[in-house]
Chain A
Amino acid sequence: AQTVTQSQPEMSVQEAETVTLSCTYDTSENNYYLFWYKQPPSRQMILVIRQEAYKQQNATENRFSVNFQKAAKSFSLKISDSQLGDTAMYFCAFMKQEGNFGNEKLTFGTGTRLTIIP
């Protein structure tokens, strides 16, 4: 079974600053995907970024980037130039890579509540 750990229950940062959210996971699988999801107050789950385990290059999406360390089983999210709209719960998630993408369940971490301070 997989486990995902987010050790920072809450974080806050000034607007325009950079913040890094931590995530570690445990698995015996070699092929898998890792995700960061954002859940704003509306509670709609929004995909922030996705990383395939077989790719050595870290994924980036505009202001969002990850630091994926497969050997250390670490997957942190860096948000640059933070904006007020980034205020949300952030969940790290793991999915085995088997068959068609998305047919396997997601295992979520406990989340980090991020507040961007004006």
Chain B
Amino acid sequence: GAVVSQHPSRVICKSGTSVKIECRSLDFQATTMFWYRQFPKQSLMLMATSNEGSKATYEQGVEKDKFLINHASLTLSTLTVTSAHPEDSSFYICSATNYGYTFGSGTRLTVV
């Protein structure tokens, strides 16, 4: 079946630094990838939709300059949290789609 690999699974960074999260489709080409954020005991909130070769579409209220998304190939999308602050601490999940949804295993980001 379709597999999506997300790395890192956990990351701790200092406030003010940037963190990159990768989402790879291992055995299929993903024309569209989605990035979600999940706060503790809450639902998944869509942050942005990335399409290979074009700019990402951000949901209302999501700062595109803070959450940089790049989908440079059909198998890789990256989310970079720039100038991270403690309030950016959260669980980030990607999903890659190609005639179906497959989720990555998520990244727990802690900003100290």
Q: Which residue numbers of A lie inside 8 Å of B, CB to CB?
A: 42-45, 47, 91, 100-103, 105-111, 113
Q: Are B43 and A91 in contact (CB under 8 A)?
A: yes
Q: Are B105 and A44 in contact (CB under 8 A)?
A: yes
Q: Are B99 and A108 in contact (CB under 8 A)?
A: no
Checking A42, A43, A106 against B46 with a beta-carbon cut-off of 8 angstroms, the contacting residue is: A106
Q: Are B106 and A43 in contact (CB under 8 A)?
A: yes
Chain A contacts for B61, CB-based, 8 A? none
Q: Which residue numbers of B lie inside 8 Å of A, CB to CB?
A: 31-32, 34, 38, 41-46, 49, 91, 93, 95, 97-101, 103, 105-106
Taking chain A's interface residues, is the majority helix, strand, or loop, or is none over half, making it mixed? Answer: loop
11 A-B pairs with C-beta separation under 8 A: A42-B105, A45-B44, A91-B44, A100-B98, A100-B99, A102-B32, A102-B99, A102-B101, A106-B46, A106-B101, A110-B42
Given contacts A102-B32, A103-B31, A105-B49, contact A44 B103 (CB under 8 A): yes
Q: Are B34 and A105 in contact (CB under 8 A)?
A: yes
Q: Among A42, A45, A109, A110, which residue has the most Cβ atoms of chain B within 10 A?
A: A45
Chain B contacts for A45, CB-based, 8 A? 44, 93, 95, 103
A102-B100, A106-B101, A108-B45 given; name 17 further pairs at CB < 8 Å: A44-B103, A44-B105, A45-B44, A45-B103, A100-B99, A101-B100, A102-B32, A102-B98, A102-B101, A103-B32, A106-B44, A106-B46, A108-B43, A108-B44, A109-B43, A110-B42, A111-B42
Q: Among B93, B98, B100, B103, which residue has the most Cβ atoms of chain A within 10 A?
A: B103
